[in-house]
Structure 1
Amino acid sequence: MENIIIDTDFEVIKKDVRPTVTNFYILYKKQGVVKEDICKFALSFREQQKDVKCNIHIIDSKDIEPFMDNFSWLPKEEQTKKANHFVATLPFDTNSLLWFPFRE
Protein backbone atom coordinates (compact mmCIF):
# COMPACT_ATOMS: atom_id res chain seq x y z
CA MET A 1 0.00 0.00 0.00
CA GLU A 2 1.21 3.45 -0.81
CA ASN A 3 1.81 5.58 2.28
CA ILE A 4 -0.85 8.22 2.78
CA ILE A 5 0.14 11.47 4.48
CA ILE A 6 -2.79 12.61 6.58
CA ASP A 7 -1.21 15.17 8.92
CA THR A 8 2.28 16.53 9.42
CA ASP A 9 2.59 14.53 12.65
CA PHE A 10 0.79 11.36 11.51
CA GLU A 11 1.07 9.02 8.52
CA VAL A 12 -1.03 5.96 7.65
CA ILE A 13 1.50 3.24 6.93
CA LYS A 14 -0.87 0.29 6.63
CA LYS A 15 -4.57 -0.31 6.11
CA ASP A 16 -5.68 -3.89 6.82
CA VAL A 17 -9.26 -4.54 5.68
CA ARG A 18 -10.90 -7.52 7.35
CA PRO A 19 -14.49 -8.81 6.95
CA THR A 20 -15.71 -7.18 10.18
CA VAL A 21 -13.20 -4.42 10.96
CA THR A 22 -10.50 -2.33 9.29
CA ASN A 23 -7.19 -1.80 11.07
CA PHE A 24 -5.22 1.37 10.46
CA TYR A 25 -1.57 1.46 11.51
CA ILE A 26 -0.44 5.04 11.88
CA LEU A 27 3.04 6.42 12.46
CA TYR A 28 3.28 9.25 15.00
CA LYS A 29 6.23 11.35 13.86
CA LYS A 30 6.67 13.80 16.74
CA GLN A 31 9.43 13.32 19.30
CA GLY A 32 7.93 12.29 22.63
CA VAL A 33 4.40 11.11 23.21
CA VAL A 34 1.81 13.87 23.54
CA LYS A 35 -1.25 11.92 24.67
CA GLU A 36 -3.68 14.79 24.06
CA ASP A 37 -2.56 15.16 20.41
CA ILE A 38 -2.76 11.42 19.78
CA CYS A 39 -6.19 11.15 21.38
CA LYS A 40 -7.62 14.07 19.37
CA PHE A 41 -6.16 12.71 16.15
CA ALA A 42 -7.37 9.13 16.69
CA LEU A 43 -10.94 10.15 17.52
CA SER A 44 -11.08 12.59 14.60
CA PHE A 45 -9.56 10.07 12.17
CA ARG A 46 -12.06 7.39 13.19
CA GLU A 47 -14.93 9.86 12.75
CA GLN A 48 -13.75 10.56 9.18
CA GLN A 49 -14.04 6.86 8.33
CA LYS A 50 -17.85 7.18 8.52
CA ASP A 51 -19.51 3.75 8.39
CA VAL A 52 -16.31 1.71 8.61
CA LYS A 53 -15.70 -0.09 11.90
CA CYS A 54 -12.03 0.51 12.52
CA ASN A 55 -9.28 0.00 15.04
CA ILE A 56 -6.58 2.64 15.06
CA HIS A 57 -3.08 1.61 16.09
CA ILE A 58 -0.45 4.30 16.70
CA ILE A 59 3.28 3.54 16.59
CA ASP A 60 6.20 5.95 16.98
CA SER A 61 8.95 4.10 15.13
CA LYS A 62 9.17 2.47 11.71
CA ASP A 63 11.54 -0.05 13.30
CA ILE A 64 8.52 -2.11 14.37
CA GLU A 65 6.68 -1.86 11.04
CA PRO A 66 7.70 -5.40 9.93
CA PHE A 67 6.02 -6.95 13.00
CA MET A 68 3.60 -4.28 14.26
CA ASP A 69 0.62 -6.39 13.13
CA ASN A 70 1.97 -9.68 14.48
CA PHE A 71 -0.11 -10.47 17.55
CA SER A 72 1.33 -13.92 18.14
CA TRP A 73 4.76 -15.01 19.36
CA LEU A 74 7.73 -12.68 18.75
CA PRO A 75 11.40 -13.02 19.72
CA LYS A 76 12.28 -11.16 22.95
CA GLU A 77 14.05 -8.28 21.15
CA GLU A 78 11.04 -7.65 18.90
CA GLN A 79 8.65 -7.95 21.88
CA THR A 80 10.63 -5.26 23.70
CA LYS A 81 10.69 -2.93 20.68
CA LYS A 82 6.97 -3.41 20.13
CA ALA A 83 6.21 -2.74 23.81
CA ASN A 84 8.19 0.52 23.67
CA HIS A 85 7.01 1.83 20.29
CA PHE A 86 3.39 0.63 19.95
CA VAL A 87 2.03 3.77 21.58
CA ALA A 88 -1.75 3.38 21.54
CA THR A 89 -4.77 1.54 20.21
CA LEU A 90 -8.26 2.92 19.77
CA PRO A 91 -10.62 -0.06 19.42
CA PHE A 92 -13.65 0.37 17.17
CA ASP A 93 -16.12 -0.04 20.03
CA THR A 94 -14.87 2.57 22.54
CA ASN A 95 -13.64 6.15 22.79
CA SER A 96 -10.88 5.19 25.23
CA LEU A 97 -7.36 4.69 23.99
CA LEU A 98 -5.22 1.86 25.35
CA TRP A 99 -1.77 3.31 26.01
CA PHE A 100 1.29 1.12 25.34
CA PRO A 101 -0.87 -2.02 25.13
CA PHE A 102 2.09 -4.42 24.85
CA ARG A 103 3.84 -3.31 28.02
CA GLU A 104 3.49 -5.62 31.00
Structure 2
Amino acid sequence: MRIIEGAGEWRSPGEAVNDWVEHLKVPDLSVGTYCIPAGGVDDQSPHTEDEIYVVTAGRATIVTPGSTAKVGPGAVIFVPAGEDHRFVDITEDLALLVVFGPAYGSRAPR
Protein backbone atom coordinates (compact mmCIF):
# COMPACT_ATOMS: atom_id res chain seq x y z
CA MET A 1 0.00 0.00 0.00
CA ARG A 2 1.06 3.57 -0.60
CA ILE A 3 -0.58 6.89 0.30
CA ILE A 4 -0.06 9.37 -2.54
CA GLU A 5 0.47 12.70 -0.80
CA GLY A 6 -0.61 15.84 -2.65
CA ALA A 7 -2.41 14.06 -5.47
CA GLY A 8 -5.16 16.25 -6.87
CA GLU A 9 -4.20 19.33 -4.84
CA TRP A 10 -3.95 22.74 -6.51
CA ARG A 11 -0.42 23.99 -7.15
CA SER A 12 0.26 27.29 -8.83
CA PRO A 13 2.31 26.80 -11.99
CA GLY A 14 4.22 30.00 -11.28
CA GLU A 15 5.70 31.31 -14.52
CA ALA A 16 4.68 28.20 -16.48
CA VAL A 17 1.46 27.93 -18.49
CA ASN A 18 0.27 24.99 -16.35
CA ASP A 19 1.65 22.42 -13.94
CA TRP A 20 1.95 18.61 -14.32
CA VAL A 21 3.36 16.48 -11.50
CA GLU A 22 3.53 12.70 -11.74
CA HIS A 23 3.12 11.13 -8.29
CA LEU A 24 3.17 7.42 -9.09
CA LYS A 25 4.20 5.32 -12.08
CA VAL A 26 4.01 1.54 -12.34
CA PRO A 27 3.70 -0.43 -15.59
CA ASP A 28 -0.11 -0.64 -15.61
CA LEU A 29 -0.98 2.92 -14.52
CA SER A 30 0.28 6.28 -13.43
CA VAL A 31 -1.22 9.02 -11.27
CA GLY A 32 -0.55 12.71 -11.41
CA THR A 33 -1.94 16.18 -10.83
CA TYR A 34 -2.55 18.67 -13.64
CA CYS A 35 -3.22 22.31 -12.67
CA ILE A 36 -4.25 25.21 -14.91
CA PRO A 37 -4.87 28.68 -13.46
CA ALA A 38 -8.10 30.59 -14.09
CA GLY A 39 -7.90 32.16 -17.54
CA GLY A 40 -5.03 29.82 -18.41
CA VAL A 41 -4.37 27.77 -21.52
CA ASP A 42 -4.41 23.98 -21.70
CA ASP A 43 -1.59 23.19 -24.13
CA GLN A 44 -1.69 19.38 -23.97
CA SER A 45 -1.87 17.11 -26.98
CA PRO A 46 -3.55 13.68 -27.26
CA HIS A 47 -1.99 10.89 -25.22
CA THR A 48 -1.17 7.32 -26.23
CA GLU A 49 -2.84 5.97 -23.07
CA ASP A 50 -6.43 6.02 -21.79
CA GLU A 51 -6.95 8.53 -19.02
CA ILE A 52 -9.39 9.49 -16.30
CA TYR A 53 -9.61 13.01 -14.91
CA VAL A 54 -11.16 13.74 -11.53
CA VAL A 55 -11.82 17.46 -11.03
CA THR A 56 -10.79 18.23 -7.45
CA ALA A 57 -11.04 22.03 -7.69
CA GLY A 58 -12.06 24.71 -10.16
CA ARG A 59 -14.39 25.03 -13.11
CA ALA A 60 -13.84 24.75 -16.85
CA THR A 61 -15.23 23.29 -20.05
CA ILE A 62 -13.71 20.19 -21.63
CA VAL A 63 -13.85 20.01 -25.42
CA THR A 64 -13.35 16.93 -27.61
CA PRO A 65 -14.14 16.49 -31.32
CA GLY A 66 -17.48 14.92 -30.38
CA SER A 67 -18.65 16.86 -27.35
CA THR A 68 -18.34 19.76 -24.93
CA ALA A 69 -19.13 19.68 -21.21
CA LYS A 70 -18.85 22.04 -18.26
CA VAL A 71 -17.00 20.42 -15.35
CA GLY A 72 -16.41 21.24 -11.71
CA PRO A 73 -15.41 19.54 -8.46
CA GLY A 74 -16.37 15.88 -8.40
CA ALA A 75 -16.65 15.46 -12.18
CA VAL A 76 -15.01 12.29 -13.51
CA ILE A 77 -14.04 12.30 -17.19
CA PHE A 78 -12.81 9.40 -19.34
CA VAL A 79 -10.74 10.24 -22.43
CA PRO A 80 -9.69 7.32 -24.63
CA ALA A 81 -6.14 7.09 -25.96
CA GLY A 82 -5.54 9.31 -28.98
CA GLU A 83 -8.62 11.53 -28.55
CA ASP A 84 -7.94 15.24 -28.91
CA HIS A 85 -9.17 17.08 -25.80
CA ARG A 86 -8.57 20.27 -23.91
CA PHE A 87 -9.90 22.33 -21.06
CA VAL A 88 -11.11 25.81 -22.05
CA ASP A 89 -12.99 28.68 -20.38
CA ILE A 90 -11.18 28.01 -17.10
CA THR A 91 -13.09 30.29 -14.72
CA GLU A 92 -11.55 29.04 -11.45
CA ASP A 93 -8.08 27.57 -10.77
CA LEU A 94 -8.40 24.01 -12.07
CA ALA A 95 -6.87 21.01 -10.29
CA LEU A 96 -7.23 17.57 -11.84
CA LEU A 97 -6.27 14.18 -10.47
CA VAL A 98 -5.20 12.22 -13.57
CA VAL A 99 -4.96 8.44 -13.89
CA PHE A 100 -3.38 6.94 -17.01
CA GLY A 101 -3.69 3.30 -18.00
CA PRO A 102 -1.22 1.93 -18.81
CA ALA A 103 1.36 4.32 -17.35
CA TYR A 104 1.80 7.72 -19.03
CA GLY A 105 4.15 7.52 -22.00
CA SER A 106 4.39 3.72 -21.98
CA ARG A 107 2.72 3.38 -25.42
CA ALA A 108 4.63 6.27 -27.01
CA PRO A 109 6.67 5.34 -30.08
CA ARG A 110 10.32 4.75 -29.25
TM-score bracket relative to the smaller structure: 0.3 to 0.5
Q: TM-score under structure 1 normalisation?
A: 0.34
Higher strand proportion (structure 1 or 2): 2
